[in-house]
Structure 1
C-alpha cells in the first residue's frame, strides 16, 4: 500500500511510472525484458520490507541476476538515479540503514547514482492504523519524503541528500506489547495456543 501511495504521488508530480514486481518477474520468466526496462529508466526506486536486517532473499537474487545481465551488455550503460524505500517491523527507522547501504553498493557496481533512501519504522502498525491522529502525522512526513524524491528526479539535483527517517511517535514498550498481542491473535486464528509460539521444532536434531 505504501508503494501505491508513492506511485500516485509521483504521477501527480508528472512522472511516468512503471511498476515492476520482482516475484512476478522471476516466476513468469520475464526478467530479461524487465532488466532492459530498468536499463532504460531515468530513475529506479526499490521498495521493499526489511528482512533479517537486510533485503529479502528474492530481491537479492533479482539484483544479482540484473548485475550479471548488466555485465554481459559490456556497453557501460548506466547513469540512472537510484532510491530505496524500506519499511521495517521495528519502531526505529534507522534499523533499515544496512539495507540502504546494500542498495547504494548495487548502484555503484552497476554504474548508477544512488541518491538517498527513505527508512520507515512502524511496519504493520503504520499501515493498520492510518486513520488515527498519531499515524496521520507520520504519513504526512512520508508524503514529504516521496515529494522530495519526485523533485530530485525531475530536477536532476546533484546536491547531497541524506537518508530520510520516518517513524511513528509511539511508546516503544506499548508498540512491542501490541505486536506480541498480534502474534497471539494470529496463533489462535490458526488453531494454536500462545505456548506453541515458543516451540523449538528442531531442538532434538
Structure 2
C-alpha cells in the first residue's frame, strides 16, 4: 500500500507525522511532498495535456512525477492551511496541474456534466484543512470544495477533515480517516448539486447599499493564457466597456504578473489596491480559482492589512468549461470570503458555463449564443454604477446556458478532435493512459 501526502503547509510537522505514522501502522509506504519547497509552474490552461500529449502535462517540472505517484497510490492526502476557505497557493498550484488524470470527454453524472474517467483505477482521497477558528461558512465551503474535487478527480472514496493546528483530537481523527481510506470503509457520500447554491453565492451583501458609488475599477484577469486569447479577458473587456459608459474608469490587471515576486507583481498589486472596485474575471480550475489568482488575493490581503486603500467592493466574474454555470459556486464563495476577511463588501457575482465556446473572441462576435451574457454584463455595469450590488436579474442572465447540456456533451468531442488534429494526434490517442503504462513498466506506451 502507498500513501501520498500532498503537503501545502509550511509549519505543520506534527500533522504530517500523524498522517505518516497512521499509514505506516497499516503497512503503507509514505511519500511526502512538501510542496512549498518544490518548484512548480502554474497551469497554463491550454488543454494540451488532453490534445497534444494526452494524459501528460507538457511542463517539465516535478508535477508529472507527483501525478504518477498519485496514480500509483492507494490513498492521497491533501493537506493545506485554509486561505479564504480554499487551498493555499502551494497546494493549489499542484491541484490545477492534475487534470491529465481525467479524460477530456464529458458525460452526465448525478444530473450535471463531468469529465469521463481516463483510468480504470483511482486512489482514495483525504482532504485535511487547517484553520485557527473556522466558522460554519468556512466548514461548509471546505467540505463543498473537497467534494467537488473528489468528483472531478474521480476518486472512489473521500473524506474531508477541518482541524485546528493545535486540535487535541487531531491524531485520532487522522488515524481513523487513514484507516478508513486504506480499507475503503465509511466513505463520505459524493455531494449532490444544489441548484440554489449558485444564486446564494452570487447574492451581494446588504451592505453594498451603503457603499459609495465606485469611480474606478481594477479587473484581475485570472487566465494564464496569452493576453487577448482567454474567455476571462473577453468577458472582462465587455464589462469594462459597459462600466466606462456608466462613468467607471476600468483597468485590466493580469494574474500572470504574480508568477514571481518583483517589480511586475508590485505594480499589479498597486493597481488592484488603488481602485474603488475589484472585479475578478477568471476561469474555473478544478472547482476553484486558479492558483495565481489565489496568490494575487493573498498578497492583496496582506497589502490591505498594512496600508490605507480606496478599495471597498469585490465582484466575481467567472466562467467554467462545463455547460452548467453552477460549477462556479465554490470559487465565488472563496471570493466572498476574501472580501469579508479584508473588511470589504461583496458586491455580487456573475458566473457562466461553457466558456470555451467564447474562446477569447470579442463577446459581440458570439452574440448568437451569448445574448443573455451580453445583457447580463450591461445590467451588472448599471447596477454597480448606481451604487447597488449585482442584481438577481443580471446573475440569472449570466448563468443562462450557451448550449443545452446534452447538446454541449454531444458536440464537445469535435473541439478536442480539431485541437488534436492540429497537433498531429490521432483520435484514439486522446484516451491514452500513460501513467498506467508507466506503472506497468511499459516505457514505450508511457512516452
TM interval, shorter chain, is 0.7 to 0.9
> Displacement of 1:198 after TM fit?
1.5
Which digits, 9 at most, give the CA deviation of each residue in 1:136-156, with x for residues without a partner? Answer: 365332233223322233222
- 1:1-80 maps to which residues of 2 (within 5 A)? 1-26=234-259, 29-73=263-307, 77=309, 80=312
* Cα distance change on mapping 1:100 and 1:182 into 2, 3 Å: same
Q: Which moved more, 1:113-122 or 1:194-203?
A: 194-203
- Find 2:327's aligned residue among 95, 108, 112: 95
Task: Please name the residue that 2:351 is paired with.
Answer: 119
* TM-score, length basis structure 2: 0.41
Structure 1 length as normaliser, TM-score? 0.83
State the Cα distance separating 1:26 from its structure 2 match: 4.0
Q: Deviations over 1:127-173 (max 9, x none)?
A: 579789xx636533223322332223322226x84481423353322
Counterpart for residue 48 of structure 2: none
> Counterpart of 2:351 in 1: which secondary structure?
strand
Q: CA deviation at 1:32?
A: 2.5
Report the counterpart of residue 168 of structure 2 in structure 1. Answer: none
The answer to which structure has the higher helix fraction is 1
Q: Distance in 2 between matches of 1:143 and 1:131?
A: 8
CA distance in 2, matches of 1:114, 1:131: 28
In 2, the alpha carbon distance for the partners of 1:109 and 1:176 equals 38
Q: CA RMSD, aligned part only? A: 2.7
| Mean CA deviation greater in 116-125 or 194-203 | 194-203
Q: 1:167 to 1:138 in 2, by over 3 A?
A: farther
Which residue of 1 is the match for residue 427 of structure 2? 194
CA distance in 1, matches of 2:371, 2:419: 30
Q: Deviations over 1:27-64 (max 9, x none)?
A: 56322233233223111111011111111111111111
Alpha-carbon contact 2:284-2:328 (below 8 Å) kept: yes
Q: 1:131 to 1:13 in 2, by over 3 A?
A: closer
Residue 179 (1) aligns with residue 437 (2): no
Q: Distance in 1 between matches of 2:382 and 2:405?
A: 33
Question: Which structure has greater strand proportion?
Answer: 2
Consecutive unaligned residues of structure 2, counting only runs of 5 or more, are: 1-233, 440-447
Write the distance in 2 (CA, Å) between the matches of 1:15 and 1:131.
21
Aligned pair count reads: 200
Query: What is the rounded CA distance, in whole Å, between the counterparts of 1:190 and 1:25 in structure 2?
Result: 30
- Which one has the largest radius of gyration? 2
Q: CA deviation at 1:94?
A: 1.2
**SS of structure 2 residue aligned to 1:47:** strand
In structure 1, what is the Cα distance between the partners aligned to 2:255 and 2:388? 28
2:383 and 2:311 map into 1 onto residues whose CA distance is 14
Distance 1:143 1:52, change over 3 A: same
- Is the 2:350–2:395 contact (alpha carbons within 8 Å) kept by the matching residues of 1? yes
